[in-house]
Amino acid sequence: MTVTVADKRAAFRELHQAGCFVLPNPFDVGTAKMLQHLGFKAIASTSAGFAWSIGKADTKVELDEVLAHLTAICAAVDIPVNADFEGGFADAPEGVAANVTRAIATGVAGLSIEDSTGDKADPLYEHGLAVARIRAARQAIDASGGDVLLTGRCEAFLWGRPDLGLVTERLVAYAEAGADCLYAPGIKTIEEISAVVRAVAPKPVNLLIGASGLSLAEASGLGVRRISVGGSLARMAWTGFMRAAKEMAEQGTFTELQGGYPGGELNKIFG
């Protein structure tokens, strides 16, 4: 049976209705297909993981590169794909809306818009502009049919501003502007997570587990609806690669290669 884009989007929304699910982050088509094979119900792209896979630093990837990446992943799997769409690749709300419209055309079931500027001296968009950018993304989604799930992200903790009051204020405003799911990467403690969940209830919250260390069961108990891992899977892949490559380069030996995943098993999975 053919799974349509509409089917994926409906399934993604249903996942957000109750319980807590893991939304792992592949960084290319192969890892996306592997995560589907392992039984995950949905996946999310990672800006960092994808950037490293094409030899770039995080946030240095061009919009067209991201759109091609999303198109390829969405076409490769039958499960929903959520897009890490960074800051929408524009400052002005009008630009965010135009780019979100292009992202929707790739077949994604959801996408996130963050409020970081990339400027260490002034890391977050002014509150009113940040809200307007979420509202513009919402309007672009609604104009396309309204079935793509929008996540509003507050990046304060990642940019050296661990102000929980600021974060919850912004996330509530993003929810009121039309975000379906809220996300504050970098929150770690039970108190921080619980405060965010309470602030935006009943809307679902995404938790970055790479920063918290909680288990699925523990996060679920706090009211978290979905868990992502950002670039962590990509970093794990790079760990194995670098160990083996550095051994060859520095010692001229090849012992690390003995720990590689069997090629025959990979061929069976992808065959």
Identify the CATH number of the domain in which residue 36 sits. Answer: 3.20.20.60
Confidence of residue 213 (pLDDT cuts 50, 70, 90): confident
Residues 41 and 151 in one domain: yes
pLDDT for 71 equals 98
Q: Which residues pair with 182 in a beta bridge?
A: 152, 205
Choose among 204, 205, 209: nearest CA to 229.
Answer: 209
Taking only the tens place, the pLDDT of each residue in 45-86 is: 999 999 999 999 999 999 999 999 999 999 999 999 999 999
Distance between CA 6 and CA 108 in Å, rounded? 10
pLDDT bracket for residue 210 (50, 70, 90): confident
Q: How confident is the model at residue 211 (pLDDT cuts 50, 70, 90)?
A: low
Residue 162 and residue 253 in one domain: no
C-alpha 182/C-alpha 224 separation (Å) is 10
206 and 94 assigned to the same domain: yes
pLDDT of residue 146: 86
Structure tokens at 62: 């061009």
Q: Are residue 25 and residue 97 in the same domain, yes or no?
A: yes
> pLDDT at position 256, please?
98
pLDDT tens digits, 217-267? 999 999 999 999 999 999 999 999 999 999 999 999 999 999 999 999 999
Q: Is residue 79 located within the same domain as residue 171?
A: yes
Is the same domain home to 219 and 242?
no
Nearest to 204 by CA among 186, 187, 217, 220: 220
Residues 219 and 255 in one domain: no
Residue with token string 């950018």 = 133
Domain count within the chain: 2
Q: Is residue 253 located within the same domain as residue 223?
A: no
Which H or E element spans position 43? strand 43-44
Residues 166, 170: Cα–Cα separation, whole Å = 6
pLDDT tens-digit readout, 163-175: 999 999 999 999 9
Same domain, 219 and 243: no
Range of the domain at 107: 5-230
Mean pLDDT score across all residues of the chain: 97
What average pLDDT score do residues 98-121 get?
97
- On whether both 123 and 165 belong to a single domain, the answer is yes
The answer on 226 and 238 residing in a single domain is: no
